[in-house]
Amino acid sequence: MTKIRIGIDLGGTKIEAIALEGDGTIRARRRVPAPRGDYQATVTALRDLAQAVESEAGATGPIGVGIPGTISPATGLIKNANSVWLIGHPLDRDLADATGRSVRLANDANCFALSEANDGAGAGHGVVFGAILGTGCGSGIVVDGRIVSGPNSIAGEWGHNPLPWPQPDELPGPKCYCGKFGCQETFMAGTGLERDFRAQTGRDLKGADVVAAAEAGDAQAEAALQRYEHRLARGLAVILNVLDPDIVVLGGGMSNQDRLYRNVPKLWGAYVFSDTVVTPLVKNRHGDSSGVRGAAWLWPAQ
């Protein structure tokens, strides 16, 4: 009988693994730097990390991996990955061969949403929309405890839609790494806030420093945050209009800004096609651990 589930969060700079019990208790946790630009070294690092947490937990189990991309249903190979050295490889099969374990892969934003839906801020809600506002802008949809991925494995690719109801000075928008202009990711990732502040002021500050400056009374920083909140409200209004989720959970570095939960719901009503909007906008419960926990949750408790 399976005693634990192994969850691995494969990021661009670090890889984290946990051994998770059926009740959500973490039995073991390890974190190592991620090999960059080397596919085989990545597979080896994943194998070694899975073996390390199994050894620490004193039990074995199947492996779930959250990746910055997804598996193409057409080819079985990785596509749409920020970590471009993964693209075109059968990572799930290669890792299964390397570990002798059953392996499931999912997009890291889907893992975030699954974690928060299972035992996080979205627990008890039927339809959970989870959005990560970090160095990128990803999202996942969970319905009745199951990830919605779609026949093309792109459900929840919210960040690669254009910013809705754009203002004249928002067109055509910054160029995105996907090759298009004006993707929501270029505005609503933490790096988007930094880019906007720099473009408007000529000052180069990290996202957290822009927030700190606004709190200290810097009018330019406050204006940048207000623009950011208005863009986020418009972006989430589209989700409410199409999906009407029971709850929206935010993750990533920008989710730590408490003002978002006060201000964005005051703004999105102007764009939601309803006379009232009762949808809660909440901060995640598990923080940086949501992705790795969600990867473990790819396997049901046994």
Q: What is the per-residue pLDDT across 3-30, written as a single tens digit (0 to 9) for each?
A: 799 999 998 889 999 999 988 899 999 9
**Superfamily the domain 5-111+289-296 falls into:** ATPase, nucleotide binding domain (3.30.420.40)
Q: Which two tokens stand for residue 251?
A: 């993750």
Q: Residues 75-107: pLDDT tens digits?
A: 999 998 888 899 999 999 999 999 999 999 999
Q: Is the dihedral of CA 264, 267, 272, 278 positive or negative?
A: positive
User: What whole-number distance in Å separates Cα of residue 177 and Cα of residue 227?
Assistant: 22
| Residue 18 main-chain phi, psi, to 5 deg | -135, 160
Reference 54, options 111, 115, 3; nearest CA is: 3
Question: Residue 129 and residue 137: Cα distance in Å, rounded?
Answer: 13
- Per-residue model confidence as pLDDT tens digits over 183-233: 999 999 999 999 999 999 999 999 999 999 999 999 999 999 999 999 999
> What pLDDT is attached to residue 45?
97
Cite the residue boundaries of each domain of the chain with CATH code 3.30.420.40.
5-111+289-296, 124-284
What confidence tens digit (pLDDT) does each residue in 238-293 have? 999 999 999 999 999 999 999 999 999 999 999 999 999 999 999 999 998 999 99
Q: Is residue 152 over pLDDT 60?
A: yes
Tens of pLDDT, residues 115-144: 999 999 999 999 999 999 988 899 999 999
What is residue 301's predicted lDDT score, i.e. its pLDDT? 65
Q: Give me the pLDDT at residue 22, please.
A: 83
pTM for the model stands at 0.93
Residue 20: alpha-carbon gap to chain centroid: 20
Choose among 151, 152, 124, 149: nearest CA to 139: 149
Helix ranges restricted to H, 80-121:
91-99, 108-119
Instruction: Determine the pLDDT at residue 1.
Output: 41
For the chain, the first-to-last Cα distance in angstroms comes to 7
Distance CA 29, CA 158 (A): 31
Which amino acid type is present at position 237?
A
Do strands 14-20 and 26-33 pair parallel, antiparallel, or not at all (unpaired)? antiparallel
**Two tokens, residue 294:** 């969600």
The dihedral over CA atoms of 232, 264, 254, 140, expressed in degrees to the nearest 10, equals -60
Asked if the model's pLDDT at residue 302 lies above 60, the reply is no
Segment 45-72 shows an average pLDDT of: 95
pLDDT for the residue numbered 279: 98
- Compute the distance between CA of residue 170 and CA of residue 163 in angstroms, rounded to an integer: 9
Q: What is the CATH number of domain 124-284?
A: 3.30.420.40
Gap between the Cα atoms of 234 and 129, Å rounded: 15
pLDDT of residue 86: 95
